[in-house]
Homo-oligomer: A and B are copies of this chain.
Amino acid sequence: MNVASSTIVPTEAVSSEGVVAAGVYVDGRRVASIAIDEASSWRGRPGHVVWIGLHEPSLAVLTSVQRQFHLHDLAIEDADHAHQRPKIEQYGDGLFIVARTAQLVGGSIAFGETHLFVGEGYLVSVRHGASTSYAPVRERCESCPRALARGEDYILYAILDFIVDNYSPVLETIQEEVETMEALVLANGMGRAQIERLYLLRRDLLRLRNAVGPLVEVCRRLEHDNLAMVRASMQPLFRDVTDHVKTIQEQIDSLREVLAFAFEASLLVGQAQETAVSKKLASWLAIIAVPTAIAGIYGMNFKHMPELHWEYGYYMVVGIIATTCSVLFWRFRRAGWL
């Protein structure tokens, strides 16, 4: 995953301990790539913003980051062992934000977590699990210094926007699969494979909803809560992210309902198929019963059975059998049983 840092932004200092990048920005331009230990001193200078990106950092690095920005113990603890719900928390004058990221890996959704520490003059991102690098965000921000110059809240916006944007391809892929499946289900009902896929899709969507749902609240608070960190002029940007998250959420809920509909439709299709098989079974049974019964009777060994001695008895009986069977067949077909 460090591909990004080595191939796209080769100037970043990538350490083995999980430091992807650490830079200082003035007026939207990077003025230095720094070591974690220097962060505090750079951050103090007016107009300077320190932006550090970590990927599954060692506890040592985390502790070092904590010292630099005076982060709260609990937040660092959370950032260390992941598995948090998306949330936003204010510790003193710093914000701690958790978001879940989603990616399609081999047909099912792989989730990751990103933890963000933001405060006056710094932003630290900590990625866990399956998650795309934020190198593209950094690149895009650096290519547009005017926007980046707005400070750490703009970086926060850029990362959240990137996370939310990345839900879309996941949902689109699922959407397409659902559409393929619904055509199939309506035509033939569900086989074992489709049932399994339906089940897994529902489970994945449930998890995705759990990942996305609490994010609405996070964005809403960034937009409305007059947090010291977020200047008024930035609030429309966060409102935009809120909107985007809500759209994603609506799509998830729609897909979930559509899958529930598909399940119910499939039950009906399956029931109809079962009935169709039963009707076919009953029809053929009825048709075959005719020669069986008649032949049985003329197979009896009674001494006195006059028909047996008729010259054309046999032909007559075969004729009756053939006619009756044909009539039955025709009637069943007309009734839609065959």
Contacts and interface: CB of A to CB of B under 8 A. Distances in A.
A270 B264 contact: no
Interface of A is mostly: helix
Interface string A230-269: 0000001101100100110010001001100111111111
Given A299-B299, A312-B304, A270 B271 contact: yes
When all copies of this chain in the complex are counted, the total is: 5
A243 B84 contact: yes
Interface stretch (A53-61, A101-109, A274-282): A274-282
Contact of A300 (B84, B210, B314): B314
Interface stretch (A15-23, A85-93, A115-123, A135-143): A85-93
A304 B295 contact: no
A296 B301 contact: no
B206 A258 contact: yes
A4 interface: no
A309 to B, nearest CB: 5
A74 interface: yes
A246 to B, nearest CB: 6
A31 interface: no
Given A272-B192, A278-B278, A291 B302 contact: no
Contact of A243 (B85, B243, B269, B308): B85
Interface in A299-331: 299-305, 307-314, 317-318, 321
Nearest to A265: B199
Interface in A44-72: 72
A186 B210 contact: no
